[in-house]
């Protein structure tokens, strides 16, 4: 007697026994059905697994664009002068 163990979506093992009297094709069909069922349950439990990775990629691209704009602003002479005056004023008060 052959046995096949599949793991369902809850993480529990399901054992199926196959007898040799029915025929090899029936055993292979049952084995395929059990494996397909296990695969389907696995896919059904985590349908959006790759979505988080795509969302992180979008956030990283947005953050990189924001950083590029911030660097460009901080390199401008107007912002440098403004920040320098703020620091000088803060140091002269103390």
For 12-66, how does the pLDDT look when each residue is reduced to its tens digit (9 = 90+)? 555 555 555 556 777 788 888 888 888 777 776 666 666 677 888 899 999 999 9
Helix (H, G, I), strand (E, B) or coil at 6: strand
Number of helices (H) and strands (E) in the chain: give both, helices first: 3, 2
pLDDT score recorded for residue 32: 84
Question: In this predicted structure, what is the pLDDT of residue 1?
Answer: 47
Mean pLDDT confidence for 71-88? 91
**pTM, 2 dp:** 0.39
**Which residues have C-beta within 8 Å of that of residue 42, sequence separation ≥ 6?**
7, 9
Q: What was the pLDDT predicted at 13?
A: 59
Contacts of 14 (CB under 8 A, 6+ apart): 5, 6, 7, 8, 34, 38
């Amino acid at each position: 007697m052959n046995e096949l163990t599949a793991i369902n979506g809850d993480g529990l093992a399901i054992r199926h026994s196959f007898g040799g009297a029915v025929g090899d094709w029936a055993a292979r069909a049952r084995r395929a059905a059990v494996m397909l069922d296990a695969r389907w349950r696995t896919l059904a439990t985590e349908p959006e697994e790759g979505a988080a990775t795509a969302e992180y990629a979008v956030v990283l691209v947005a953050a990189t664009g924001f950083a590029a704009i911030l660097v460009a602003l901080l390199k401008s002479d107007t912002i440098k002068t403004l920040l320098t005056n703020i620091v000088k004023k803060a140091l002269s008060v103390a």
